[in-house]
Amino acid sequence: MATTSAYNRHARPRPPRPGLTAPRVVGAVAQLLVGAGALAVIGLWWADTTSVVGLSGWLTNAGRVTGLLAGYACAVLLASMSRLPVLERAVGSDRLARWHALGGRYTISLTLAHVLLITLGYAAGDHAGVVDQAATFIRTYPDMLAATAGFVLLVATGVLSARAVRRRLSYETWHYLHFATYLAVFLAFFHQLSNGADFVTHRPAQAAWYALYTGVAALLVWYRFLTPVRRGLRHRLVVTEVRPEAPGVVSVFMTGRHLEGLGAEPGQFFRWRFLTRGMWWTANPYSLSAPPGPGRLRITVKAVGRHSEALARLRPGTRVWAEGPYGAFTAARRTSPKVLLLGGGVGITPLRALFETLPGEVTLVYRARRPEDVALWRELDAIAARRGATVHYVVDEPAEHSSPLTAGGLAVLVPDIAERDVYLCGPPGMTSAAIPALRRAGVPRRRIHHESFAF
């Protein structure tokens, strides 16, 4: 393998797609619906409130509003975790994860505000101490003991989801701790209906609240639990081969039945559950590293944790359950006839599948630490030669083959970079440096399509 290589480009580019792309439309509609729901919740409080008098009244009503919004935010938060296909494929798991993280912060903040404001408001009205008032709530109000437990659990989950804490947790640990959100919301749900002034005597409001939560629960049960089992039984995926690709990097080849029914596209990923000792209990996300073919799928994974390390020891015949496909890192995002694929390390996996299948004029820049860390290079060279595309391998060592990840460095490799869509996938450090470099090189933000490894 040469550390840099290039081929003449002969592919005839397609014209760019005019107007808004489907992912942008779906994302905008989703945000509009969430905003409309929040306004409806505030409207419920407004219609039920004739006047607000005194400090106690203002504090109590502020607590009512934040409580209603916190309850609504819990439902939205769970819906964002449901893996609804239309959102996963159009909006993308990357963007959904950011929405979910932002929604989690709003939910925790609203919940804390609700607890504090309601307690202060009632304490002011009854001329009681804050601690005494909180104790009265827990001891005497219906469903408040369970709600308090849910509140503590929700706050604890929020603390564990903070970036500084999350970095110290494995993906598997964080994933299962996050299920505590379900229990927290369940424990807190009933006190809203038994104590909330906007629900106690309002049957339509109660029915709407039940419908909201029942609908979200149905999405979670169907897409997070029943669908993986149903697809596992139908497709009967098994491992056929595990092949080393680079130091610490392996490809896992799988075969199964009716795989075209999955509807997978290059650039997407699945959450893979390998039914073998020590691995069956968790499903980890890995991208397809080749276009899905009749009866076969492939992933390429670098050993960075216990789960990924164990993949090298998989045996042919191991049963696999695949949840997905997920992600909007696909050809649907392309708006220009020219594309740059910019990858680092094992981030090459979804880009390799796109490199083979994206129409138009495509250039791949693949960054790695050393030449021996470059995975799948034979395939990439063959694809470049076959389709008349360009591929550049950039390594940090030796220095003569290095190129800075700056606007100038990228422009040397891809002079017309400002005219291209950019698909970016790599480790967090690389992507955090690449995005501002691409912006300084003249690439509009809407043309930078990013797939993150962070959880």
Phi-psi region of 388 (alpha: psi -120 to 50; beta: other; left: phi over 0): left
Statement: the pTM of the whole predicted model exceeds 0.85: no
Residue in 346, 307, 319, 214 with CA at minimum distance from that of residue 257:
319
Q: What is the CATH number of domain 236-326?
A: 2.40.30.10
DSSP characters over 90-156: HT-HHHHHHHHHHHHHHHHHHHHHHHHHHHHHHHHHHT--HHHHHHHHHHHSTTHHHHHHHHHHHHH
Q: Look up residue 247 and give its DSSP letter.
A: T
Burial track 331-352 (b if 16+ CB lie within 10 A, e otherwise): bbbbbbbbbbbbbbbbbbbbbb
Is it the case that residue 17 has pLDDT exceeding 70?
A: no
pLDDT at 170: 67
Is it the case that residue 179 has pLDDT exceeding 80?
A: no
CATH architecture for segment(s) 334-451:
3-Layer(aba) Sandwich (3.40)
- Cα of 347 vs its chain's centroid, Å: 16
| Least confident residue range of 120-129, 171-180, 282-291 | 171-180
Beta strand spans in 162-248 (E): 237-246
Is it the case that residue 300 has pLDDT exceeding 80?
A: yes
* In the chain, domain spans: 22-228, 236-326, 334-451
Number of H helices, E strands in the chain: 16, 11
Other CB atoms within 10 Å distance of the CB of residue 292: 19
Other CB atoms within 10 Å distance of the CB of residue 227: 15
Rounded CA-CA distance 425/297 in Å is 20
| Least confident residue range of 146-155, 286-295, 392-401 | 392-401
| Least confident residue range of 12-21, 32-41, 328-337 | 12-21
Is it the case that residue 361 has pLDDT exceeding 50?
A: yes
Is it the case that residue 13 has pLDDT exceeding 80?
A: no
More confident residue, 12 or 113: 113
pLDDT at 376: 93
Over pLDDT 70: what percentage of the chain? 91
Question: What does the pLDDT average to over 229-247?
Answer: 93
pLDDT at 15: 39
| 401-435 residue pLDDT tens | 677 899 999 999 999 999 999 999 998 889 999 99
* Residue 14 contacts residue 360 (beta carbons within 8 Å): yes
| 332-344 residue pLDDT tens | 888 899 999 999 9
* Residue 341 contacts residue 354 (beta carbons within 8 Å): yes
Is it the case that residue 452 has pLDDT exceeding 70?
A: no
Give me the chain's average pLDDT, please.
87
Burial track 105-121 (b if 16+ CB lie within 10 A, e otherwise): eebbebbbbbbbbbbbb
The C-alpha angle with vertex 162 and arms to 158 and 167, in degrees rounded to 5, equals 135
* Residue 424 contacts residue 396 (beta carbons within 8 Å): no
Sheet of 338-344, strand order:
390-395, 361-368, 338-344, 421-425, 448-451
Question: What does the pLDDT average to over 196-222?
Answer: 90
| 110-161 residue pLDDT tens | 999 999 999 999 999 989 999 999 999 999 999 999 999 999 998 888 887 7
